[in-house]
Amino acid sequence: MKKYLIQFKPFLIFISTFFAAYILLTMVYKFYLNTFETNDVDGITSVVGKNVLQLMNAFNCDIKIFKSLSDSWLEVWYNKKYVIRIVEGCNAVSVIILFISFVLAFSGKLKTTILFIVFGILFIYILNVVRIALLAVLLFHVPEQQHMLHGVLFPLVIYGAVFILWIIWVNKFSKYAK
């Protein structure tokens, strides 16, 4: 048994670090979400909505974003038509938690790890804001493609970007890079 523990030590360290970070960050995030009332929009999702509004206003789009009167989401109105809603799951926090957990599991030097995590969080966040803005415009023009756009294309883009960040991390910066 000891032989196998020694043989698989790097893998076991990776798995235990990944799951420990993932569980801890998820618990912290769930605790944060529990501080909001049932029909309130959490602060992170509200900021995402504001950033989508700012981005689309920068392109002179006819965009309005309102808190739903009856539920915990933001309604996005594009050209005076309700096109999408921004719910808690749209704020990319779960993707960011996954990203951070992986980077920590393949950690490198402390400063490099922290800088890469900060850069990655900013990149994922900005990509997510752009994703929501593009989704609003595209669903206004081709609403029949909702499943393809929301369910396939945009998750592929955001998870694909995270995967590329992971590849860069492992090959360039982690302790396993050489």
Domain membership flag for residue 105: yes
| Residue 82 belongs to domain spanning | 2-173
Instruction: Classify residue 68 as exposed, middle or buried by CB count within 10 Å of its CB (0-12, 13-18, 19+).
Output: middle
pLDDT digits (tens, 9 = 90+) for 147-177: 999 999 999 999 999 999 999 999 998 877 6
Residues 126/128/133/139 CA torsion (nearest 10 deg):
160
Domain membership flag for residue 128: yes
Q: Which residues contact 38 (CB under 8 A, 6 or more apart)?
A: 72
Residue range 122-144: mean pLDDT, rounded: 97
What proportion of the chain, given as a percentage, has pLDDT over 90?
82
Domain membership flag for residue 178: no
Beta strands, E only, the chain: 63-67, 74-78, 81-86
Domain membership flag for residue 76: yes
Residue range 64-83: mean pLDDT, rounded: 94
pLDDT digits (tens, 9 = 90+) for 6-52: 788 888 888 999 999 999 999 999 999 999 988 899 999 999 999 99
Mean pLDDT score of the chain: 93
Max alpha carbon distance in the chain (Å)? 66
What is the C-alpha separation between 120 and 110, in angstroms, rounded? 15
Whole-number pLDDT of residue 94: 96
pLDDT digits (tens, 9 = 90+) for 139-154: 999 999 999 999 999 9
Residue 76 has pLDDT above 80, yes or no: yes
Domain membership flag for residue 96: yes
- Counted domains in the chain: 1
Range in 75-79, 97-101, 146-150 with the lowest mean pLDDT: 146-150
Q: Give me the residues paired with residue 63 across strands.
A: 78
Classify residue 40 by its DSSP letter.
P
